[in-house]
Amino acid sequence: MRDKDFFPDIIKQHPEAEIPIDCVESKLVQAGDQQFIFMEFNDDVEIPPHKHNAQWGVVLDGEIELTINDDIKLLTKGDSYFIDKDVVHSARIKAGYKDLTLFNQKDRYTVK
């Protein structure tokens, strides 16, 4: 079930990010050469192994099983993670998962 009031207007005012996952709602905050993305997943989803520039995130609600270099971690509300540049990672994300992710890349996503 979606909590439409989870993110306040100060976040909702930002543009949506073009993320190629059907069940994710997002807000993109451009910060110089980095991007903050607020994400909310409406369905369970599996993210296949991939790599990119460094990424840091904090779980705001819900649950994610994150695999980084074959190390599997179950993360829940309040947990944070860091993925260094070019490190292969994947994820199993549960419906209702919400997070804030910082990508060390100014063009990781475009505005939808």
- Quickly state the pLDDT bin for 61 (edges 50, 70, 90): very high
Range of the structural domain that residue 96 is part of: 12-103
d(CA 101, CA 77): 14
End-to-end CA distance of the chain: 24
Residue 112 lies in a domain: no
Digit-coded pLDDT (tens) for 2-42: 567 899 999 999 999 999 999 999 999 999 999 999 999 99
What CATH number has the domain bearing residue 16?
2.60.120.10
Q: 1: pLDDT confidence band, cut at 50, 70 and 90?
A: very low
pLDDT at 5: 84
SS3 of 7-59: CCHHHHCCCCECCCCCCEEEEEEEECCEEEEEEEECCCEEEEEECCCCEEEEE
Whether 109 is covered by a domain: the verdict is no
Is 7 part of any domain?
A: no
Number of domains the chain contains: 1
In a domain, 55, yes or no: yes
